[in-house]
Amino acid sequence: MSSEETTSSRRRSTRSTRTATKSPGARPPPSIRKKKNALKEDNHTSTIVNGEVVEFQPTFEIIVLGSGGGPLETDCSGYLVKAASSSWEDGVLALEGGSGLGALASILSNPTTKASTLFPGLRFPPGYTTPLLQAAHVFSFLACYLITHAHLDHVGSLIMLSGSVPPKSHQHTQPPTNAISPSKEAKVTHPRPHVYGTRRMLVKLSQAYQGGLWPELGSWVPDREGDTSTPQSNGNGMGRKKRKVEEQSVKGPNGAVDVTEENYDNSCLLFSPLSTERVHRPLHPTLPISLLTYPVAHGCTSKHTYQSSAMFIRHDPSAITQSTPSTPSSTSSTKTKGKGREFLFFGDLESSYRSPGEQNVDVERGREAKELNDVIWKEASGTYKDGRLCGIFIECSYDSSRPAHLMFGHLSPPGLYHELKTLASFVSKTDERPLKGLKIFVIHIKDALVPHPSGRTAREIIMSELNELEAKGQLGVEFVETKQGDRIVI
């Protein structure tokens, strides 16, 4: 790993490699610095555990397809994730689906971005020389989507790509040999990625697949073992109990076709509800990833609080139960590298924080947000103290001048820092810099459409405010501005 990849995020260009390798704060003694520099050359990373530097090999590689929060449709939430010790061919997790294939093609069309730099070790087949074909090749390794909530800036690309997920082979799109009486294998001519999320989120997403907004391309998979989720209305007054009856007539929530032996082959993506148990569960059978999901509040509708999700995404080689062509050669090394390390990824969320003079704005939702968020921070505090927390991806949509009644279920720098102080309180009430070494990847910044009087962009203002809060608060965190086209190694 070059020294260029480990410099401060503030000195990197929009499309660059970001590697979480060094911890902020006091400069370590020369012996530790020497050891850390040697490790960097061997593609290692480090973290702080009980005040000591602990070295790890990188656990995850993340490509940022989009990190904005709107209003630009060209930069919405979308990330490609894989285990650092696995190859891209082993399978890719699409975390959020706001930006996708088109965004990657646009990134690769930039003259300063090389596919070999963004996807080191990935070889493209002969003829895959255009940005679109190279992006399609990467997406051919898509194993599944993981979605925090169903707002369009998080699922727009997913919907558009339904039915057109690039095949793993050009043979995939050829017609069957026997056009009159094709075999069952010949009928299955398209990939069917799973879409994972809470049942409540998937019910909302499935509304796009009723034939009006998009063709009826979605199917429901049977409930996972141990799913104890409570019945949820699907928007038509029908909950899970009703859906069980509908399964017999090959219908699922909101009219989405349910998975049966007869109609499974007609679907182009599979709605797969996550377990609500508070334990890590395997995500997809081909990925060394397990997941722990919590609900968060994200504003409200005319009927109820709108739920988003926070997800602890853990490197877990034991989660692989189905091999891919290149899995056998990679899993042996995967089992000893970074096992158990995880990052925390938030969908959109709100805080209980209110600025002076606004304490009476949305009081009930503030209480609800605190109750939900505190549970997550307690879990994160244990992971951090164990040295397993690679970083936190969390939104900061607006700057601090945004009034509370116009936040629409989002965070500003004071709200974000308030949440981090809550995490710090669970870690230690006495230590100085209790979150020393923790990387906070700032996402979902909403770009301004009118110039700011200072001449600065929304991103510049928000990052400046966050750094000023840290300069005063001294939690020990490092804020990293996450940009479209970044390659993040943690």
pLDDT tens track for 151-209: 999 999 999 999 898 887 554 444 444 444 444 444 444 578 999 999 999 999 999 99
pLDDT given at position 85: 92
Please give the model's pTM, rounded to 2 decimal places: 0.82
pLDDT value at residue 53: 58
Closest CA to 216 of 275, 162, 161, 136: 162
Domain presence at residue 285 = yes
Q: CA-CA distances (angstroms) from residue 99 to 12, 154, 161, 195, 479?
A: 22, 8, 10, 15, 23
- Asked if residue 293 belongs to a domain, the reply is yes
* Mean pLDDT computed over 12-22: 45
What is the model's pLDDT at position 168? 73
CATH classification at residue 158: 3.60.15.10
How much is the average pLDDT of 461-469?
A: 98
- The pLDDT of residue 353 is above 70: yes
Range of the domain at 135: 60-172+185-198+274-489
In a domain, 220, yes or no: no
pLDDT at position 287 is 97
Residue 217 lies in a domain: no
Q: Is 474 or 260 the better-scoring residue by pLDDT?
A: 474
Q: How many domains in the chain?
A: 1
How confident is the model at residue 224, as a pLDDT?
53
Q: Is residue 362 part of a domain?
A: yes
> Do the domain assignments include residue 395?
yes
Residues with Cβ within 8 Å of 84's Cβ and at least 6 positions away in sequence, in order, are 57, 58, 59, 60, 61, 337, 338, 489
Q: Alpha-carbon distance 105 to 160, whole Å? A: 15
Which residues lie closer than 8 Å to 178 by C-beta, 6 or more apart?
A: 186
